[in-house]
Chains A and B, each alone.
Chain A
Amino acid sequence: MSSTTHNMAPASGVLPAYRQPQRVTQARVLRAEWTKLRTQPAAFWTLLSAVILVIGFGIGYSLLRVARPPRGAAAIASFDPTAISLSGVQLAQIAVGVLGVLLITSEYSTGLIRTTFAAVPRRLPVLWAKAALLAATVSAVSLPAVFATFRGGQSILGRQHLSVPLSGPGVVRAVIGSALYLAVIGLLGVGLGAIIRNAAGGVAALFGMLYGLPLAAGLLPSTLAADVTKYLPGTAGQAVTTVQPDPTLLQPWTGFGVLCCYAAVLLSLAAARMRRGDA
């Protein structure tokens, strides 16, 4: 303890007045939240994990599939090289979802939220800033990652002439859609984190939404199960990442739209909770 106090300079005691104009605006809150995001080591490591999962798993799975090329008309027809190289996205969604949750819950667990809300009494600008930054950061990091894994995966699959070019039907949409899918999953995390306000609960709810709901839907009678599952957040969003038309999924952009609706609803609930309640 004494070694740390030695490091402190005696307080200069002189604190000049500060007369520059001050005002809270959404743009300034965005800048403040960016300062927080870029100085939060967890954000860097989580995004790095997401990238590693996207590329690593995508390449790995491509290597696996190229070793056993499909045989038979049915297998060849259902072979989706794009989906194979993008398979890491389904794992990376956990990382980005958790990041979304932590962006909010770390403020509650440390108590920093009180300082944040005292400085931004309208509160909602903080939520919007965090959501916007998360979506932007995840997209910015995921886009190069998905293109890289696509390139890498296709060059591997090309050894057995199983690859598909970027210009193939629906391919660019699936690749870009995957990056956007990750961004919106991150927003689900932000919404859940802001509603539940603790990390464990938020992550559990995230898992519940992405994995638990489809399991629960599977318990319904089979015709109902198929219809319900289509509209669940994970499955709906997945539609935008597939190239082959899949009758168990919605149309690509429709599915993405449904996922976005889930995010919008969660963020609205979060906003309502944040505004009224005690900090």
Chain B
Amino acid sequence: MIELRALTKTYGPTTAVSDLTFTVRPEVVTGFLGPNGAGKSTTMRMILGLDEPTGGSVMVNGRLPRTHAAPLHEIGGMLDPRAVHPSRSAYHHLLALARTSGIRKSRVDEVIDAVGLGAVARRRAGKFSLGMSQRLGIAAALLGDPATVVLDEPVNGLDVEGIRWIRGLLRDLAAQGKTVFVSSHLMSEIAQTATQLVVIGRGKLMADTSMAEFMAAAAPSTVRIRSSDQIALAGLLRAPGVTVAAADDGALIVTGLQAGHVGGIAGAAGITVLELATQQASLEDVFVGLTQDAVDYRAAN
């Protein structure tokens, strides 16, 4: 469990993170979402005890981050997969890490096999591809069998097979009862893995809900219909609580009614339905809509 209370971090005049309050619970995968520069990595560094908060507090499994006697057993983090010494082998990188806490050599072999680096474990880490480095980083995070796992953008640069593997791994970890906290700046990826969502923008908390509630509350689904008489249909559909808008291709976008109901209205009036579909708001649209004012770095349109 990770508990943040009014967590704030400033670097001189810049406020990286301001007044964050939320709890990351065990047994679910919690996604941490925000545009680039929103403060995700800063928050994760504070959770791992690498940076000191300027204000507020963060507790991991009930204690302050730097007070655990067996830190690798409490929290395993991966912030930057490239943060390894290039001339050291993956095996020795993990072995040195294991030795700080007295973790056995056999465990190092176990995690290497679990992440699929068995064949390249003795190779210099500097020669690894990004995907291999990500796996090594995850191996390091899981070395001590931590109760809490914190990963910063673990799917960056991975191919499809790698992404699927991580997705499965995160779900397995949550199923084991662990607290899993994963950041990303891509909504589409997070939506497939996480069931809880924390959204951050310009250092401030924007949302802290379940994935389902986020989708429902932010943008309800709409019904798209094309018919033989759009104008008449539009007139029939309009009612208190129902909005009818025109799409670029002439279809009507109806909000506030189920697809079946819309089809029924058209049928009762003798209008032929040419196309009828329920549209879930695009996840990207929801996210962009929520954070559009909070994006620091945006190309000119």
Query: B interface vs A, CB < 8 Å?
Result: 45, 48-52, 65-73, 75, 77, 79-80, 82-89, 92, 95-104, 107, 110-111, 113-120, 128-129, 131-132, 135, 140, 142, 144-145, 159, 165, 168-169, 172, 176
Contact = CB atoms under 8 A, between A and B. Distances in A.
B88 A39 contact: yes
Interface string A107-140: 1001110111111111000000000000000000
A39 B49 CA distance: 27
B88 A119 contact: no
Given A22-B73, A24-B101, A36-B88, A112 B142 contact: no
B83 A112 contact: yes
Contacts of B68: 121
A9 B71 contact: no
B87 A11 contact: no
A110 B124 CA distance: 14
Interface string A168-200: 000000000000000000000000000000000
Contacts of B99: 28, 31-32, 35
Given A114-B50, A121-B71, 18 more contacts: A5-B132, A9-B119, A12-B116, A13-B114, A13-B172, A15-B110, A16-B110, A18-B144, A20-B102, A22-B70, A29-B100, A36-B85, A39-B88, A107-B85, A111-B82, A118-B50, A121-B67, A279-B50
Nearest to B52: A278
A5 B88 contact: no
Nearest to B113: A12
28 contacts: A5-B159, A7-B119, A8-B120, A8-B135, A9-B119, A21-B102, A22-B101, A22-B102, A23-B70, A23-B102, A24-B100, A25-B102, A28-B99, A28-B101, A32-B96, A32-B97, A33-B96, A36-B92, A41-B87, A107-B85, A114-B83, A115-B83, A119-B71, A119-B72, A119-B97, A121-B68, A278-B50, A279-B51
A16 B168 CA distance: 15
A15 B71 contact: no
B83 A24 contact: no
Interface size range of chain A in the complex? 35 or more
A10 interface: yes
A20 B104 contact: yes
A9 B116 CA distance: 5
A167 interface: no
A39 B129 contact: no
A1 B104 CA distance: 32
A19 B50 CA distance: 26
Nearest to B11: A278
Contact of B87 (A19, A29, A40): A40
Interface in A179-232: none
A14 interface: yes
B87 to A, nearest CB: 5
B14 to A, nearest CB: 14
A167 to B, nearest CB: 44
A112 B100 contact: no
Contact of A13 (B73, B129, B168): B168
Contact of A15 (B52, B102, B111): B111
A35 B96 contact: yes
B103 A11 contact: no
B169 A36 contact: no
Interface string A220-246: 000000000000000000000000000
A16 B143 CA distance: 11
A276 B118 CA distance: 38
